[in-house]
């Protein structure tokens, strides 16, 4: 079976490094490139196995279109601005793109949607399949409980996370499907928390609380690589993890 050629955009970040390990340990995948921003200190240097520091055969690159053309799929764990540019490169080269970034404006989402007319793009604010399944479950729970139950969503992340509420919190809120402003969002940024989401349904005399905790960032990398394998060969369009489940 032919291996899937997967590249990483944002290869020096937390998630980029986790994804690098996941690709290198996947018997069905081969690393086809690692993108960094222009002017990066790592530009042109060898990409090494994070644990052993042995070379992977790739160098860090800022040649966006070149890396896209050399790949079956690109996984993007960058920033909202960079993801928009990567989506444009995906459209130009007709290369499938998995986006795991968050913090997009409405205008940026429109640009990604436009790029998805020329290339398959999978966008998810959380690459956990459990979170995707949780969103589906919350949709049903919200419908069963009705407006008598108030909804609060609390997200806890590491101190350096910029967007609040988190993209995952907003994604879960969208799944719950309450009117604009009906859900209370609370965000905490502290320490090195990977990610915790608490969803509270408060009704007359009773409550239901659902909690999801991420204990290892590699689960997001694993989800992104699985999504990359799935996206390879798909028709242009905008996809989410729900399309895989």
Q: Which residues are catalytic?
A: 157, 161
Residue 223: which H helix or E strand, with range? helix 218-231
Strands (DSSP E) along the chain, which ranges?
Answer: 4-9, 29-35, 46-48, 55-61, 73-76, 97-99, 120-123, 150-157, 183-189, 196-203, 206-213, 237-239
Cis peptide leading into 165, omega within 30 of 0? yes
d(CA 242, CA 136): 9
DSSP annotation of 21 reads: H
Show the CA angle centred on residue 223, arms to residues 88 and 187, nearest 5°.
85
């Amino acid at each position: 079976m032919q291996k899937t050629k997967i590249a990483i955009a944002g290869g020096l970040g937390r998630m980029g490094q986790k994804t690098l390990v996941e690709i290198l340990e996947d018997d069905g995948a081969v690393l086809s490139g690692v993108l960094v921003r222009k002017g990066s200190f790592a530009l042109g240097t060898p990409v090494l196995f994070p644990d052993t520091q042995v070379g992977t055969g790739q160098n860090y690159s800022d040649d966006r279109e070149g890396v896209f053309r050399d790949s079956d799929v690109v996984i993007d764990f960058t920033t909202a601005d960079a993801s928009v540019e990567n989506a444009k490169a995906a459209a130009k080269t007709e290369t499938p793109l998995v986006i795991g970034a968050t913090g997009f404006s409405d205008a940026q989402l429109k640009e990604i949607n436009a790029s998805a007319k020329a290339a398959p793009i999978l966008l998810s604010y959380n690459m956990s399949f459990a979170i995707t399944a949780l969103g589906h479950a919350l949709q049903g729970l919200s419908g069963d409980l009705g407006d008598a139950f108030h909804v609060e969503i609390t997200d806890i992340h590491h101190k350096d996370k910029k967007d609040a509420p988190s993209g995952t919190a907003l994604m879960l809120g969208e799944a719950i499907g309450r009117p604009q402003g009906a859900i209370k969002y609370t965000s905490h940024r502290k320490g090195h928390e990977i990610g915790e989401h608490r969803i509270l349904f408060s009704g007359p005399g009773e409550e239901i609380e659902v909690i999801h905790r991420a204990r290892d960032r590699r689960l997001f990398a694993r989800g992104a690589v699985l999504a990359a394998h799935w996206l390879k060969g798909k028709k242009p369009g905008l996809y989410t993890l729900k399309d895989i489940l």
